A = this chain, B = another copy of it.
Amino acid sequence: MKCRKCGKKAVANLRAYRLSLCSDCFVEFYRKLVRRSIEKYGIFKNNDRILAAISGGKDSAAMASVLKELGYDFEMLYIDLGIGNYSADSREKVEKLSEMLGVRLNIVSLSDYGIDITKLRGRICSACGTAKRYIMNRFARENNFTVVATGHTAEDLVSFYLKNISGGQKDYAEKLLPRIEPFDEKLVARAKPLFEVSEKENMLYAIIRKLPIKMEECPYAPRQEWKEIVYEIELKKPGFAKNFVRGLVSGQRNLNFRHCSICGEVSLGEICSFCRLRKRFSEMKL
Seen from chain A, the residues whose Cβ lies within 8 Å of a Cβ on chain B are 113-116, 119-120, 127, 130-131, 134-135, 137-138, 162, 164-171, 173, 183-184, 186-187, 225, 229, 232-233, 236-237, 239-240, 243-244, 246-248, 250-253, 255, 257, 259, 264-266, 272-274, 277-278, 280-282, 284
- Interface of A: prevailing SS: helix
Evaluate contact between A167 and B131: CB separation under 8 angstroms. no
Evaluate contact between B137 and A265: CB separation under 8 angstroms. yes
Residue numbers in B under 8 Å from A170 (CB-CB): 247-248, 250-253
Evaluate contact between B236 and A229: CB separation under 8 angstroms. yes
Q: How many copies of this chain does the complex contain?
A: 2
- Quick one: which of A134, A137, A251, A272 has the most chain B CB within 10 A? A134
Evaluate contact between A167 and B113: CB separation under 8 angstroms. no
- Pick the residue among B134, B164, B264 that contacts A272 (CB under 8 A): B134
> Given A171-B255, A250-B170, A281-B119: A165 and B265 within 8 A (CB)?
no
